[in-house]
Structure 1
Amino acid sequence: MSSVADGVGGWRAYGVDPGRFSRAIVRNCERLVNTGRFKPDEPELLIAQSYEDVLTSKDPIMGSATLCVIALHRCDHRLYAASLGDSGYLVVRHGRIVQRSTHQKHTFNTPFQLASPPPVQTRQFYRDLPTQAAQSSINVEPGDLLVVGTDGLFDNLTDTMILQELDTVKLENDDPLESLHQCARRLVDRARMAAFVPDFQSPFASEARRYGINIAGGVPGDITVILGLVINGDEIHAVELTDATAVQRSSRSTTRRRLHRLSESDLERIFVSPTLRSTSHSVPRQQP
């Protein structure tokens, strides 16, 4: 089982650390799996129980988060997934995307989300249900690559960019974990760098235009990537990388100022070379 959760940054405006809620959800998922209270072909039930445990905790945690859970069923060699919001996954086979999650949103930059609002609500909060999670499954084959990530990855890298990085994974390597780790590092670095390119037609900008919002460039945000390699029908080697340097405020002008510190060669490498190094910051997402 692998899972990622992304706290909705708008909670910072209420003095709430958006990471607490998402971390609690993931910890509950791990605990339920480790105690055997989990069916790999029903990841949506794992989400529901993890969420319920957060809500009924003696120390309630306010916040909201998107979430993606994938699990490999050893009996039928099938990958099962459940995702809510814009955290999601890809299955890549022989350099092609053969399966992907469905990103769910109420409107632009407002994804579906599990939420734990204040006891006394003074405004409307988005609060979606675990039963609304998008569910999918696929038979996996040895050599399949699995990418699980938050919107910080998928908002800033096109499919072509992601596939370019995955093409560097050496499947025949004696140490596949090291190859996976290097690739995951490049994915995180490249997404981080692309977030600060003002004229890049990012997936985030393309989505905005579908809503009549004319913007360009990527969007700074927390980036988590889990990269897995299917070894056989019942085994996956996986690594996880997270880049989550948060800031309280940001704006398009701030993004441009930060971008001007990058050299032309740095910007060129985003689109030409799969190897990048940079720094990262995140911005609050749509208010909950």
Structure 2
Amino acid sequence: MEKHMAQTLIEIDSRIPDALRVAFGICRPSCPAILRGQQDEAANFAAVLLAPRDDAGASDPMDYDEAEPEGDLGMMFASSYIKDHDEDAHFGHAEAGVVGVADGVGGYRKKGVDASAFSRAIMHNAYAEVATAVPGTRICPRALLERAHQMTAAKHTPAASTAAIVSLAGRTLKWAYVGDSGFVVIRDGRILLRSRPQQHYFNCPYQLSSNQDCNRLADADVGEVAAKEGDIVILGTDGLFDNVFDDEIERIVRMGTALGFAPENMAEVMAGFACEAASCDDRDTPYSSLACRTQPGNAYFTGGKPDDITVVVVYIVSCPVRSQI
């Protein structure tokens, strides 16, 4: 299922353009210093490809009146996974048009429990359901997540997990998620839709488990939106969304689009950037910003949150591509 995995930080570091570090203030001490001339070149590159978008006069992204061609759309996607405690899991099946991610709740680690057990099982069961479905079946993410949860809980699998599943049915994107694993849909370089984390309180997301008293599928956020060819869906665990702001995601996607990145390139750069941001202690991140707003005594907290980072990048294309991860 997990087809692509970054093995080392050095490997992923080599794929991150210097323009990202210059534009977003990311510079890990272990990275070689950027020489003055190279820094100027990177800064110019960043100014062109990473400039904040001017949306003056932009049309409403929810306006779907434009005539769309007939016929189904398809998914072309790839993933990147950078381990910390190795408790994330994900799957994808392009022919069925469905991808998913899950993040094991790390608190179980302190109890001597394998915190990856539930996340891996729920993604394995979801993939098995998709792989054995009749070809052409249009997947309902909520029904799939419910079935995978039932199968996982029936075996009394330990620990707990957040989870998110996105499917493409014809020309409609559908989703279901529980907790702070989530997604963004990007159209024409800006975010059209974004999942909102479900949390009981700071750093305590909704989660699925074998415990009947835990969150249930009734708590899942579900929905759908009309898809267009050229849309890009970024699915990720909180290792991505805790460390990368929405506008940074948009700008990285615009840079990758301008450079002709394939989904694999985009996923690697996005995950690598999140990993570097997680290790920084001198810049704001979504995690530090939320801590400052909600936690007394953290008014001046900065920095990222080291974590497993899973990124699945989906390109919506005019014809299906047969692959799976």
TM-score by length of 2: 0.64
Report the Cα offset of residue 171 of structure 1: 7.8
Report the Cα offset of residue 181 of structure 1: 0.8
Matched, 1:113 2:198: no
- Alignment size in residue pairs: 224
Does the aligned pair in 2 maintain the 1:147–1:225 contact within 8 Å? yes
Distance 1:136 1:196, change over 3 A: same
Report the Cα offset of residue 156 of structure 1: 0.2
Does the aligned pair in 1 maintain the 2:154–2:210 contact within 8 Å? no
Structure 1 residues without counterparts, runs of 5 or longer:
118-124, 241-288
The two structures, once aligned, show a CA RMSD in angstroms of: 2.3
Deviations 1:236-285 (A, max 9, x none): 68887xxxxxxxxxxxxxxxxxxxxxxxxxxxxxxxxxxxxxxxxxxxxx
Deviations 1:47-90 (A, max 9, x none): 11111111112xx320100000000002xx10000011000000
Distance 1:171 1:237, change over 3 A: farther
Aligned residue in 2 for 1:98 = 192
Q: Percent identity?
A: 33
Distance 2:175 2:291 in 1: 27
Distance 1:238 1:105, change over 3 A: farther
Q: Output the amino acid matched with 2:144.
A: L
1:195 aligned counterpart, secondary structure: helix
Distance 2:147 2:263 in 1: 31
Structure 2 residues without counterparts, runs of 5 or longer:
1-97
Aligned residue in 2 for 1:235 = 320
Q: Output the amino acid matched with 2:149.
A: Y
Task: Choose which of 205, 208, 222 in structure 1 pairs with 2:291.
Answer: 208
Matched, 1:163 2:246: no
Give the stretch that moved more between structures: 37-46 or 162-171.
37-46
Deviations 1:11-40 (A, max 9, x none): 111111211210100011011111228964
Q: Output the amino acid matched with 1:219.
A: K
Task: Choose which of 214, 219, 228 in structure 1 pairs with 2:305.
Answer: 219
Does the aligned pair in 2 maintain the 1:168–1:183 contact within 8 Å? no
Matched, 1:47 2:145: yes
Aligned residue in 2 for 1:256 = none
TM-score by length of 1: 0.72
Distance 1:238 1:223 in 2: 22
Distance 1:126 1:150, change over 3 A: farther
Distance 2:209 2:140 in 1: 21
Task: Choose which of 166, 169, 181 in structure 2 pairs with 1:73.
Answer: 169
Identify the structure with bigger relative contact order (alpha carbons < 8 Å, sequence gap 6+).
Answer: 2
Report the Cα offset of residue 150 of structure 1: 0.2
Aligned residue in 1 for 2:176 = 82
2:110 aligned counterpart, secondary structure: helix
Does the aligned pair in 2 maintain the 1:181–1:239 contact within 8 Å? no
Report the Cα offset of residue 3 of structure 1: 0.2
Deviations 1:165-224 (A, max 9, x none): 211334895xxxx62111111111110111121121100111112213412111000000
